[in-house]
Structure 1
Amino acid sequence: MNKTVLCLFMCLNMAALCRCSHVLYKSRVITLNVVSSDCNTPVNDVTIKCPTGESLRMRSTGLGNYQILTKKFPIKLELSKFGFMTQTLIVRSKMTMVQLRCVGAVCTANTVRISVSSSCSKAVTNVKIESQNEQIKALTSPSPGIYDVSVCSFPVTLSFQKSGLVGQTKIFAGTMGNVELLCKAAPLLLEHVQSKVRSLGDDVKFCCWADKMPELTFDPFMWFFNGNPIPGEEAMQLEITNIEASNAGLYSCKASITVDGVTEAVMSEGASLTLVGDENDFNGDLLSNMVMILEGPPVCVFDAQLCNPRPCQTNPAGSQECKDDGYVCPDQIDFVTHMCPSGVTLQLPRVMSCKCCQRPNVEYKGTVKDPDGTVLSGIKLTIKDQPGTPTEKTSNAAGMFFGSAIPEIRRLVIQASDSTGTFLPTTKVVDVSPGVIGPIEEINVVMFPLASPVAIDARVGSNLSLSDMPLTPGAGLGSVIIPGGVLFNMDGTPYNGIAYVHLTVLSPVDLNAIDNAPGEFAVLTADGKRTLVTGGVFNIKITGQNGMNLISMPITVTGATGMHLFDLDTFAGVWRTSPGSTTTRRKRSSHIQEIGDLDNLDAVWYNIDKFMEATDNIECWIKMKVFDAAAPDTELQAGVEFKPYILQYTNEDPPKAIKPGALVYVNPINDKCYRVACDQDPDNNPSTFLVLGMTTKFSVDGFDVPITQTLMH
């Protein structure tokens, strides 16, 4: 029996799916009518093939008509031609019409008008718009945030990208649409990894307590042991079971977010895993604590002793939790007799033993002020003092606010806004040292008033100086160039009248302004935090004659050579490279260049900065003590009546300011740490100088008057 008869016999008698249909049936002819998707015109000279490699017998009768002889049916085909998008389809009928999407041909029949905004700006300009299925034929922007896009056909899938914003892809089926791009925000490390004390054979868990905007996604976490990456550990928690001696050391984590190929990461401080014979034995946590009891001469000092406030676990069953819920605190305090060198005998308290106490929340309080020290009431405050939803507060009649943060808080981010518009919004960052039990006091949130406006003709434009004298050329840090015809009303219609520009500038040589400038002068990169050297901070707002805000097409900012344009990430309290930042367009002057374009005039702070060069400076810390000039051995205590500050400047002309990290609160209060930049080679001439000052108060007719003094350079 030949193969054909055998196959026929099997198919008829077993009612099976006949796998030899290519033998049973003759080859069949299928017809394809190939047309262009933009105007339904026939497409000739199309290459048609099987993606799996089988050969085809085919002929073209012209006018986009193709006849294919095949023994397989249905059949998968791939159609391609230069100038059109390659298309793969499965043919299931004898006659099929195929539309090839065009590339490069001008399509005018289908236009969609798209309004693009963002969660941090009412209108977004300079957006890159692409199609996943075809090349866009025309793209115009008649007004800020409005785009007319010509496409071949509907529905069409378009993607929207702009640096600094989270891209989005959306399908449009009609001639009108809108897109909102989310603001990119860096990760925020509210708590550093907590140090732990354990015994051999115990289990331990470390956690990386990072926070983010809800719409964003963390990259895989990274864990480090003694500075070296731990392979395979990509979760927010790191668990170690049956601890061995080799596990003792420093652990840290890195949390990062990547948007459009740009990664921003934050590194935690190192947390120690210390091994002891008995983790619940606190005798080794009793430390010496020498305090001055009587001023001399001779001076009387006394060892009051204290407990090392390391983390501990009040509930032994919670030893495998992320955070130990307690801290080592005094247990027994006795009064002992102490004789001073002068012969005076005193009964003084001394800590005799330690125990594990429940760690309380960290209480904090602060005051909202203007730059002159006048308190501001009714200011809305959004405070990131816990993971998840931030706390909302309002400053009271005395300008004060109070709150309670999680016990392990390491970074408070406070956003302040004025509903009246008199003062510009700001972001205050407060770093908290690991040893703080609380409270945190004297948090000063300084809000800068909106600058007085200068009038310009929107049809002509203007070149404004980045200074408190905007109409004086060359008076400031750089300039803002506003061309004619770039201002629009909020509805997108051109604005051609007199416009009022509010240009609020914080000069780098203004100690008070830079000390209270928004955010921390740092940027988060893929490798962690990088310190910025600022050439000044500014905010720009433009209104029309009716007082309503205007929006703008991109306007140009100039600054000193080597500087960049940054804007404030209010979520994390750091700065980020502004979407329009560039350093490629230099002016004829050797020291001035265009450093970026900006189009967001909606209460955004901008910063003219450069990165601190790692080869020149390293980050270090200093502590300071201030003594009374009248009694050189008497140390002044920081507090309500005394506030030290430190600023650092480069030896450039004009000087650039390096704003240290936010004040780090530690106990005791006169031991505050400040972050500064130090020369790697101490033999070199210093590249920076420091200004140390203090603010004291005296009373005049019942009113407190602050006085700022420069203590040293």
Structure 2
Amino acid sequence: PPPINGCHHRRAASGPALRRGSGLRSGAAPGSRPLPVGGGFQRARGTRGGAGPRVGLGRLSVGGVSAPPRPRPHPRTPVGRVRSRIPARCSAHSLADDRDGVTAATALSLCRRRPPGGGPRCSGAARAAPQPALAGPGGLGRLVSRDGVPAPLGQTRAEGSQREAGVRVGGRRRARALACGAGWGRPLALGPPGCPRSQRTVPTEPSEWTSWFNVDHPGGDGDFESLAAIRFYYGPARVCPRPLALEARTTDWALPSAVGERVHLNPARGFWCLNREQPRGRRCSNYHVRFRCPLGCSPDTCGCPDHILLGSVVTSSGRPLSGARVSLRARPGTVATSDAHGAFQVPGVCASGRASVSAQVDGFSPGAAQARASSSNSSAVTIVLHKLRKPYLVKHPQSRVREAGHNVTFCCKAGGNPVPKKYSWFHNGTLLDRREHGSGAHLELRGLRAEQAGVYHCKAWSKAGTVRSGPAQLTVLAPEQPACDPQPQEHLIKLPEDCSRPGDSGPTYLDVGLCPDTPCPGPLGSGARCGDLGSRCCAVRRLESREIRCAGYVLPVKVVAECGCRKCLPPRGLVRGRVAAADSGEPLSFARILLGPESIGFTSYQGDFTIEVPPSKERLVVTFVDPRGEFVDTVRVLPFDPRGAGVYHEVKAMRKAAAVLLDTSQSNTIPLGSLEEEAPIAELVLPPGSVRATDGSPYVGTVEARVTFVDPRDLASAAAAPSDLRFVDSSGELAPLRTYGMFSVDLRAPGSAEQLHTGPVAVRVAADQIRMAGHAEALRLWSLEPETGLWEEESRFRRQGPPGPRVRREERVFLAGNVEVRERRLFNLDVPERRRCFVKVRAFANDKFTASEQVEGVVVTLVNLEPAPGFSANPRAWGRFDSAVTGPNGACLPAFCDQDRPDAYTALVTATLGGEELEPAPSRPRPLPASVGVTQPYLDRLGYRRTDHEDPAFKRTGFRINLAKPRPGDPSEAHGPVYPWRSLRECQDAPITASHFRFSRVESDKYEYNVVPFREGVPASWTGDLLSWWPNPQEFRACYLKVKVQGPQEVVVRSHNAGGSHPRTQGQLYGLRDARSVRDPQHTNTSAACVEFKCGGMLFDQRQVDRTLVTVTPQGSCRRVAVNRLLQDYLERHPPPAPTDDPAAFAMLAPLDPLGHNYGVYTVTDQSPRLAKEIAIGRCFDGSSDGFSREMRSDAGTAVTFQCREPPSRPSLFQRLLESPAAALDDIRREMGRGARPPRAPRTRRGQ
């Protein structure tokens, strides 16, 4: 019939009346199962024509959206005569208003309030419907009380649910059309507010809910889930042309009324939520919606008896999955189970119906696919399931600085399978209210107050687990508080030795000022972004020029006069290094580099690599894959400097074990152990028929097996061990593991490159090898997730002894566990350890350990050792290892420790900078607190010993300590160097006066002076000036000259760098560099020095090049004897020539071209100045343009040669002139005068 006032009449589908209280479809047996949720529908007898029952609902509202006022009941419809029933499986939650989407949950909560003056009560079935568990997308709702609060789980129907909810009109029974649809009932359609009660109709055709949709995220004006946008992004076939109803929920599956938000719902238009309509201080949550569509009698539900559906369930790698539970969207419940080959069959599914098929297996996330017709009466489908993966952090929240009243946004992003959708945010360890801040990946704080400053972090949740992010510091500044103190901080630089003040015995230092590299607040309105692209930080605003009086010359210097907030470039972490074999040292050439799952390049012929760290990264997991297949895939977690300074790593690759031929028809046992004099720690047992091809079919024949074991009883194997032995515990935090061995399994058919899989195989660990108390019970078998570098538990171990009541002495007891060798190939025998501490280590430029000469970018490595009983200095095995990079305040390294037994755990600590090994403080004849950096009596309890303590001929590159946990209440142990696990912040912020362990550089005979100060470890400290040593902060170019020295002594070679061809800097000093020559072990009385000079090129203004005037002078009685012929020819072809009158020096105008080792010039360009210099020095020592060495080769690739004949017992003339010019001149005059006297005539005797 035509609409009346916008209302349509609908005919109710006629059918047999439902039996009272049955809750079953018409014709169903009394003992049959009710229709499951999610599919099917129930019919009910409805009214004919448009004369529906005159039962009105009161004025309804959902989050502020109002429905029509409650009409009074018709006088001929007494409340007590309501007898038509709602089936037991119906839920009032599915009822909705066609116009504004009022859900029945709110309708139920309001209609239960009996209106004044009478009115219909809700039926018993409506008052208390069966309560399912709250599910995810496609899940069901919960009952809502009259206040909009969800009812408790497990609530069932009340006794009143047996009443019928019909009305007697004219003595005849008319069933109210409230039959259930596919998903918790069919919606009740209410007319527009102006429609008479008699014109309110009920849709009686069968219907079902669609899947959930989410095309928009809250931002700007609000959240908009329009029907047009859903059809555009998901396709028009995903939603029917005329939906019957609409349901909206937040991403936490909460109703709008539960979170107190005002929303708009319209099945014909969609959903929208406006921020301006929300209560003060609130913004719209992130919603997803679903629609209710007519179902009809489709082929999916009616079926085709002669048709069949053929399908298979496989993993993402194509491996078939057995035991998968298969279901159809139109037929809820399991309709088939996949066999051993992952195949299944479902008869009666129409070939042309494009049925939606889903499958699920334990340990995998559910998957779905649409069937395709393969013939006239058959269809096929392949469902791909992805293995459940624990969540891991992709983006961590970043520290921010804001002014009071501004806004800030923290962002957190996690991956995994399934991808986490639920996040929790914490402020100073306290969980924030989700109703106020939501549970999304973004935390937005508006109108900041001072008490909101502090540390924030997030946790991401999924059904596979949880993970916690790193901390982010929020600094809230008062309205008049400056973010950057204009007064610079103290920063001391060392002056040349000839600039010392009279009477000072030591070196002289000058305060040049320092601006702390702290962030500044962004412009107003930038808080809504996750990343502050135009970041601002505290930097140098103004420099002042000064002059320092030295012996015979004036040294210019520029000091910081004022600091201020300026736009600065975001820091870019950079990692460079070299991959080489752990056994032979040969480079891993052209190895593929994987950053997570993504390939980012290859190593060079020499095994070198460079990786730029992505922003907001906290763990850099890199995998090196050998193209020849001779080495195990090398998975490393490389520490880096988040402030942008480059770090150099030496990566050791583990060679695969020799191949062993196995017969798959027999049981095979492979021992796990690499020490010949020791029994194997464990063994790998492959039962007969356990080897399979990648498609799941059994493999019969000979298998070539390579099982490579990392034996922790061999201390040298720690350098080649994969990953960093961490896992995510139940609270989402990274926790350490103690290993008893790692092994890699490689199974292939002989002569084939395709890897083979296995079914369950046994790993048996010898119980007598697990000597630590409690470790035998806590031992687990783990596999490595190569994308995250984290270990995930595979199985537990159970004690397994020899059969029989009596055990012979020679028979061993094992701990047995099971594992399947499939996509993952690296396994670990580990124990989670809870006794943890942090160790504080600092690095210095020399063995004077001056606080102002700390060295950043040093990679410190700590290896946990398990001592043999009674021999703490002779460890039995290593347990774990960790590395950290020193910053301006040193580094804190995690380690295992024990409070009761100081020697329960020991540690070996080493440090490297580039390819250089640093030396710790000495310990012979006994360690001194002043040199070690640890106070007594804690130093004795730690048992500090340098590696050469027992044998002076041993290398001095590390130290060993007992990891004695500090005892509470002991003041001598309260300030380091070992800190409890929960005191990480105290360890990181410890002052220089607190106890710590120390390393110093061996190559201390270096000196660098820049007129414009620059900290190479902090690229943000760069200052733009024409006299800057590095003119471009984006590209640092290091240049070195190799100087050969002939003579019995090692001498210091200085390079004086001044402006050469640029008109504005000509003759002005850029800086000084000193380097001591290093002896060549292959040649006596010969040494060489690699001295840095300022490269020629564009200056800071980028307008004109400058060829630096470089003057190289050995500090001794030396003279130039040779110049590289190629270098001499180059300088002659590129005028102007530099003055070369002084035979004791070598001068040149720096070449603009990167010449190379044939010229004796070594040039390296990098994003990090420190890495560029370290690589150039390594090439200079080696005398090649692509090599690297720390052993000097004085006869290869030299630029200039000097001959120095100064006797060892006498200071050089240069040094005497610097130390005492007057005395040196007197000596020169005396010697010249002695040389000017006429020689005395010799006396002769007669006859001679």
Alignment of 1:508 with 2:712, yes or no, is yes
Provide Cα deviations, 1:43-83, integer angstroms capped at 9, x if missing partner. xxxxxx98357799xxxxxxxxxxxxx986999699xxxxx
1:272: Cα distance to partner? 3.1
Alignment of 1:689 with 2:911, yes or no, is no
Distance 1:100 1:357 in 2: 68
Distance 2:476 2:14 in 1: 75
Report the CA distance shift for 1:241/1:23 in structure 2 as closer, same or farther (over 3 A): closer
Which structure carries more helix by proportion? 2
Alignment of 1:649 with 2:857, yes or no, is no
Q: Is the 8 A contact 2:692 2:699 kept in 1?
A: yes
Report the CA distance shift for 1:590/1:359 in structure 2 as closer, same or farther (over 3 A): farther
Q: Is the 8 A contact 1:123 1:551 kept in 2?
A: no
Distance 1:618 1:507 in 2: 23
Q: Is the 8 A contact 1:563 1:595 kept in 2?
A: no
Distance 1:408 1:343 in 2: 51
Q: Sequence identity of aligned pairs in percent? A: 17
| Counterpart selection for 2:312 from 94, 99, 114 | 114
Distance 1:391 1:263 in 2: 28
| Counterpart selection for 1:251 from 452, 456, 471 | 456
Secondary structure at the aligned position of 1:243 is classed as: coil
Distance 2:799 2:302 in 1: 42
1:517: Cα distance to partner? 2.9
**Which residue does 1:51 correspond to in 2?**
87
Alignment of 1:271 with 2:473, yes or no, is yes
Which structure carries more strand by proportion? 1
Normalising by structure 2, report the TM-score: 0.43
Larger radius of gyration: 2
Distance 2:879 2:484 in 1: 46
**Which residue does 1:380 correspond to in 2?**
592
Alignment of 1:712 with 2:960, yes or no, is yes
Q: Is the 8 A contact 1:263 1:525 kept in 2?
A: no
1:151: Cα distance to partner? 6.3
Q: Is the 8 A contact 2:412 2:458 kept in 1?
A: no
Give the letter aligned to residue 395 of structure 1. T
Provide Cα deviations, 1:412-436, integer angstroms capped at 9, x if missing partner. 33233233323332333234455x1
Give the letter aligned to residue 588 of structure 2. L
1:330: Cα distance to partner? 2.4
1:494: Cα distance to partner? 3.1
Q: Spell out the pairing of 1:177-576 with structure 2 (5 A cutoff).
A: 178-189=382-393, 192-201=396-405, 203-212=406-415, 216-232=418-434, 233=437, 234-254=439-459, 256-258=460-462, 261-278=463-480, 281-283=483-485, 286-293=488-495, 297-313=505-521, 315=523, 318=526, 321-324=529-532, 325-336=535-546, 348-355=557-564, 356-372=566-582, 373-383=585-595, 392-406=600-614, 408-432=616-640, 436=643, 438-468=644-674, 475-528=679-732, 529-547=734-752, 548-559=754-765, 561=776, 562-576=778-792
Q: Is the 8 A contact 1:368 1:377 kept in 2?
A: no
1:710: Cα distance to partner? 4.1
| Counterpart selection for 1:606 from 827, 841, 845 | 827
Distance 1:23 1:639 in 2: 84
Structure 2 gaps of 5+ residues are: 1-7, 18-25, 33-84, 89-160, 165-172, 182-204, 208-300, 350-354, 373-377, 498-503, 771-775, 803-810, 870-875, 918-954, 962-1248
**Which residue does 2:367 correspond to in 1?**
168
Q: Is the 8 A contact 2:337 2:344 kept in 1?
A: yes
1:542: Cα distance to partner? 0.8
Give the letter aligned to residue 819 of structure 2. D
Distance 1:151 1:17 in 2: 37
Report the CA distance shift for 1:572/1:50 in structure 2 as closer, same or farther (over 3 A): same
Report the CA distance shift for 1:23/1:483 in structure 2 as closer, same or farther (over 3 A): closer
Distance 1:460 1:516 in 2: 33
Distance 1:595 1:50 in 2: 54
Give the letter aligned to residue 574 of structure 1. L
1:226: Cα distance to partner? 1.5
Report the CA distance shift for 1:676/1:147 in structure 2 as closer, same or farther (over 3 A): same
Distance 2:178 2:573 in 1: 72
Distance 1:249 1:698 in 2: 39
Q: Is the 8 A contact 1:22 1:72 kept in 2?
A: no
Secondary structure at the aligned position of 1:306 is classed as: coil
Structure 1 gaps of 5+ residues are: 1-14, 25-29, 37-48, 57-69, 79-88, 92-98, 102-108, 700-706
Report the CA distance shift for 1:495/1:659 in structure 2 as closer, same or farther (over 3 A): same
Secondary structure at the aligned position of 2:718 is classed as: helix
Report the CA distance shift for 1:326/1:505 in structure 2 as closer, same or farther (over 3 A): farther
Report the CA distance shift for 1:301/1:553 in structure 2 as closer, same or farther (over 3 A): same
Distance 1:20 1:224 in 2: 54
Distance 1:369 1:323 in 2: 34
Root-mean-square deviation over aligned CA pairs: 4.9
1:657: Cα distance to partner? 1.4
1:526: Cα distance to partner? 4.4
| Counterpart selection for 1:664 from 885, 894, 907 | 885
**Which residue does 2:1074 correspond to in 1?**
none
Give the letter aligned to residue 411 of structure 2. C
Distance 2:956 2:660 in 1: 31
Report the CA distance shift for 1:266/1:590 in structure 2 as closer, same or farther (over 3 A): farther
Secondary structure at the aligned position of 1:532 is classed as: strand
Distance 1:222 1:450 in 2: 44
Distance 2:308 2:741 in 1: 47
Distance 1:20 1:485 in 2: 60
Provide Cα deviations, 1:276-302, integer angstroms capped at 9, x if missing partner. 454655226733334555688434344
Report the CA distance shift for 1:515/1:285 in structure 2 as closer, same or farther (over 3 A): farther
Distance 2:695 2:14 in 1: 66
Alignment of 1:159 with 2:378, yes or no, is no
Give the letter aligned to residue 300 of structure 1. T
Report the CA distance shift for 1:253/1:20 in structure 2 as closer, same or farther (over 3 A): closer
Provide Cα deviations, 1:503-558, integer angstroms capped at 9, x if missing partner. 12222244454344333321123422222222222210111223343222121223
1:585: Cα distance to partner? 5.8
Give the letter aligned to residue 689 of structure 2. G
Q: Is the 8 A contact 1:566 1:609 kept in 2?
A: yes
Provide Cα deviations, 1:140-182, integer angstroms capped at 9, x if missing partner. 52xxxx235576765795533243x434355779697544322
Give the letter aligned to residue 415 of structure 2. K
Distance 1:22 1:186 in 2: 51
Distance 1:148 1:521 in 2: 39
Q: Is the 8 A contact 1:198 1:276 kept in 2?
A: no
Distance 1:333 1:503 in 2: 63
Secondary structure at the aligned position of 2:627 is classed as: coil
Question: Taking CA–CA contacts closer than 8 Å with sequence separation of 6 or more, which of the two structures ends up with the larger relative contact order?
Answer: 1
